[in-house]
Amino acid sequence: MLMNTTKQNKPVRSISDLVRADRSTGDVMLVLDFSSSMGGGMANGKTRVDGLRDAVKQIQAQAPTAMVIFYRNDATFVTSIDHVQPEGGTPLAQGLELACRSCSRVIVVSDGCPNDELYALEVGRKLGRCDCIFVGDVAVTDEDGNIHYDHGREFLALLAKETGGTMFDGDLAQVKTLVSHVVALLGDGQ
């Protein structure tokens, strides 16, 4: 059950209530990446998805909010991510489209580049503010020792810039910092 309220203090008890919420309320929604790459390992031995689950539990305990996940070739509203497994591509545009139906601001958490960058940017611009948290490897060193910055990070930075949002490099192995950043974003009401 969702435990959030709209800016007019109307209770949000279900996805139906959320979808009916007035877009002008400024409610914020988490848009979470569950693509296959989120199953990748981290230095602490956990997967990114394990870290995301830990972070979301803490976020929901401090600032309950609605969530959309995107994976496979689709997106869906969820009330829990406990049993969702990472799968398929990165259909961020579909996640933003779904969120767009009930809010004007999102916090995107992703480790990669969307399937369709141009469409995701277009939807993001229509939506409004997109705060983005990149949780992948910021830079990768190739076999020749050259450092390459992740294209997914570059895309999320562009999405944030184009929509008036913020960009943050998160670390799902260090959940406390990530959680405090998201909770601050949820509470800033802008």
pLDDT digits (tens, 9 = 90+) for 22-67: 333 348 999 999 999 999 988 889 999 999 999 999 999 999 999 9
pLDDT in tens, 71-101: 999 999 999 999 999 999 999 999 999 998 8
Cα–Cα distance for residue pair 160/57, rounded to 1 Å = 24
How far is CA 6 from its chain centroid? 20
Higher pLDDT, 103 or 12: 103
Q: Is the pLDDT of residue 6 over 60?
A: no
pLDDT value, residue 42: 87
Residue 131: what residue type? D
Report residue 98 as tokens: 């779904």
Calculate the average pLDDT of the chain: 84
Burial 107-140 (b: 16+ CB within 10 A, else e): bbbbbbbbbbbebbbebbeebbbbbbbbbbbeee
Q: Which residues contact 45 (CB under 8 A, 6 or more apart)?
A: none
pLDDT value, residue 132: 95
Q: Could you give the angle at the alpha carbon of 169 between the alpha carbons of 84 and 98, nearest 5°?
A: 45
Q: Is the pLDDT of residue 11 over 80?
A: no
Instruction: Judge if pTM exceeds 0.85.
Output: no
pLDDT value, residue 17: 43
What is the average per-residue pLDDT within 164-170? 93
Burial 8-37 (b: 16+ CB within 10 A, else e): eeeebeebebbeebeeebebbbbbbbbbeb
What is the average per-residue pLDDT within 129-145? 84
Residue from 149, 88, 162, 85 nearest 120 by CA: 162
Q: What are phi and psi of 15, to 5 degrees?
A: -60, -35
Specify burial of residue 45 (Cβ count, 10 A radius: 0-12, 13-18, 19+): exposed
Ordered domains of the chain (ranges, CATH): 12-187 (3.40.50.410)
Cα–Cα distance for residue pair 182/186, rounded to 1 Å = 6
Q: Is the pLDDT of residue 3 over 80?
A: no
pLDDT value, residue 147: 73
What is the average per-residue pLDDT within 148-174? 90
